[in-house]
């Protein structure tokens, strides 16, 4: 077969067509992105120069530009114009500081409290949604079903000025991807992850068992909000759309609730993505074994995040056998354990095994889920990783 460009290789692989070789596209490469000042164009160019496949992600705003949603990449989040928000810090009797944030809405007040730890990195601010505050929350934003009326005022569809800014960014991004021959990716969609941010992880696990109707209502509110954001991104258009679903594995949700409530939402989102001629990429790095039949029924095109070391229930051979002929599998090597900390032999063996088990067709090789540590051993192992991929791809 003649040599393909990166975009052709990626899209053919996702569609389970023959490609010139197994693509290698890092799901996330924070260490390299930081070296390029969070410039996504520069990151993409650097990955291509390393011999990797790459993707350009939009919207590209980095974490510091997303103070209300640092862990949800994508369009800006705004509240209804009648919502006001105030914050203050209170020192408890034991000397520890607790941040308070109150939202006043036309349907009532919502408030959240977070105990500041030594590693709290948001200053005197509590983001609207964020991974970091879940274990530190003294009180979650949502605690009862009556709070959902007020929550609606915090779930506002994208504003026209945001759409205009996004369109301007996409015009530049598309010119770049067309020139470089790489895929344009967009996102993120979100579902259960956001429910965990709003309600608390342990609380949500219990509510799924004891108050499934309430959780269903919350998820459908998030789904309606998420769809409006999806429509803006999909209209770009983009080649790939990503949905973050780290908290939709079986560690966080029982399969029966997934089948009844989550699966229909995923199907609807997959249909929306496909209406725009885009491929749907679903990120879940752990607890996937019990969900494989659901993935086949969902319409997703790619399961992103197969980590054979840190991911529970992520037997690569089992995943390949169950869904690998229908759904593209993205991953195969642990980023944090193998690439950042492993020996040369461990890195090479992991790359070979990933390609052997998950490939050769319908597999995109990647460390999962990120390379974050900017250290000498990390860069040495990244070079080894790429060298071994080139040897056996």
Per-residue pLDDT in tens (0 to 9) along the chain, 393 residues: 789 999 999 999 999 999 999 999 999 999 999 999 999 999 999 999 999 999 999 999 999 999 999 999 999 999 999 999 999 999 988 888 999 999 999 999 999 999 999 999 999 999 999 999 999 999 999 999 999 999 999 999 999 999 999 999 999 999 999 999 999 999 999 999 999 999 999 999 999 999 999 999 999 999 999 999 999 999 999 999 999 999 999 999 999 999 999 999 999 999 999 999 999 999 999 999 999 999 999 999 999 999 999 988 889 999 999 999 999 999 999 999 999 999 999 999 999 999 999 998 999 999 999 999 999 999 999 999 999 999 999
Determine the pLDDT at residue 96.
87
Query: Which residue in this structure is represented by tokens 């504003």?
Result: 159
Cis peptide before 369 (omega within 30 of 0): yes
Task: Pick the closest to residue 27 from 384, 319, 332 (CA basis).
Answer: 332
Query: What is the spatial distance between Cα 322 and Cα 298, in angstroms, rounded to a whole number?
Result: 14
Determine the pLDDT at residue 93.
82
Report residue 21 as tokens. 């070789």
Q: How far is CA 21 from the centre of its chain?
A: 26
Report residue 335 as tokens. 């980023």
Task: Pick the closest to residue 57 from 389, 248, 283, 275 (CA basis).
Answer: 283
DSSP 342: -
Could you list the beta-strand ranges (E) of 231-390.
Answer: 240-244, 279-283, 302-306, 328-334, 363-368
Query: What is the spatial distance between Cα 108 and Cα 149, in angstroms, rounded to a whole number?
Result: 8
Torsional sign, CA 67, 70, 73, 78: negative
The Cβ-side half-sphere exposure at 97, using a 13 Å CA radius, reads 13
Strand, coil or helix: what is 128?
coil
Determine the pLDDT at residue 94.
84
Determine the pLDDT at residue 151.
98
Counting beta carbons within 10 angstroms of the beta carbon of residue 328, is it exposed (0 to 12), middle (13 to 18) or buried (19 or more)? buried
Q: How far is CA 83 from CA 87, 150, 202, 322, in A?
A: 14, 10, 28, 47
Can you give the C-alpha Rg of the chain in angstroms? 21
Query: What is the spatial distance between Cα 194 and Cα 66, in angstroms, rounded to a whole number?
Result: 15
pTM of the model as a whole: 0.96
Query: What is the spatial distance between Cα 360 and Cα 354, in angstroms, rounded to a whole number?
Result: 9
Query: Hey, what long-range contacts does 108-113 have (CB within 8 A, 24 or more apart)?
Result: 108/146, 108/147, 108/149, 108/150, 109/150, 110/141, 110/142, 110/147, 110/150, 110/151, 110/154, 111/139, 111/141, 112/137, 112/139, 112/140, 112/141, 113/137, 113/138, 113/139
Cα three-residue angle 321-326-332, rounded to 5 degrees = 55
Determine the pLDDT at residue 1.
76
Determine the pLDDT at residue 255.
96
Q: Which string of b and e fits 276-286 if b means at least 16 CB within 10 Å?
A: eebbbbbbbbb
Determine the pLDDT at residue 95.
83
Query: Which residue in this structure is represented by tokens 């990783």?
Result: 385
């Amino acid at each position: 077969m003649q040599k393909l460009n990166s975009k052709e290789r990626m899209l053919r692989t996702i569609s389970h067509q023959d490609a010139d070789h197994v693509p290698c596209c890092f799901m996330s490469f924070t260490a390299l992105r930081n070296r390029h000042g969070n410039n996504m164009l520069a990151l993409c160019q650097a990955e291509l120069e390393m011999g990797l496949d790459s993707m350009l992600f939009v919207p590209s705003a980095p974490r510091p530009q997303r103070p209300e949603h640092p862990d949800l990449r994508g369009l800006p989040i705004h509240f209804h114009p009648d919502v006001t928000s105030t914050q203050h810090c209170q020192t408890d009797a034991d000397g520890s500081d607790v941040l308070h944030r109150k939202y006043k809405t036309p349907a009532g007040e919502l408030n959240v409290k977070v105990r500041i730890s030594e590693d709290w990195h948001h200053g005197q601010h509590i983001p609207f949604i964020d991974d970091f505050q879940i274990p530190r929350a003294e009180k979650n934003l949502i605690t009862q079903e009556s709070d959902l009326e007020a929550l609606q005022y915090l779930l506002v569809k994208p504003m026209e000025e945001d759409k205009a800014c996004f369109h301007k960014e996409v015009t530049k991004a598309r010119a770049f991807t067309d020139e470089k021959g790489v895929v344009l990716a967009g996102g993120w969609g979100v579902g259960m992850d956001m429910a965990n941010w709003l309600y608390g992880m342990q609380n949500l696990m219990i509510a799924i068992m004891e108050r499934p109707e309430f959780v269903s209502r919350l998820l459908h509110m998030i789904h309606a909000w998420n769809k409006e954001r999806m429509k803006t991104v999909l209209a770009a258009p983009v080649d790939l759309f990503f949905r973050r679903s780290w908290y939709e594995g079986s560690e966080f949700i029982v399969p029966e609730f997934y089948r009844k409530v989550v699966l229909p939402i995923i199907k609807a989102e997959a249909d929306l993505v496909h209406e725009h001629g885009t491929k749907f990429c679903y990120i879940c790095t752990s607890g996937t074994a019990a969900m494989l039949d659901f993935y086949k029924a969902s319409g997703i095109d790619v399961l992103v995040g197969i980590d054979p070391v840190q991911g529970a229930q992520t037997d690569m051979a089992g995943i390949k056998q169950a869904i690998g002929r229908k759904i593209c599998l993205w991953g195969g090597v642990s980023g944090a354990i193998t690439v950042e900390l492993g020996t040369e032999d461990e890195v090479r063996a992991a790359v070979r095994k990933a390609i052997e088990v998950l490939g050769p067709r319908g597999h995109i090789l990647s460390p999962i889920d990120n390379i974050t540590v900017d250290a000498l051993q990390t860069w040495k192992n990244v070079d080894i990783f790429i060298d071994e991929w080139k040897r056996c791809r």
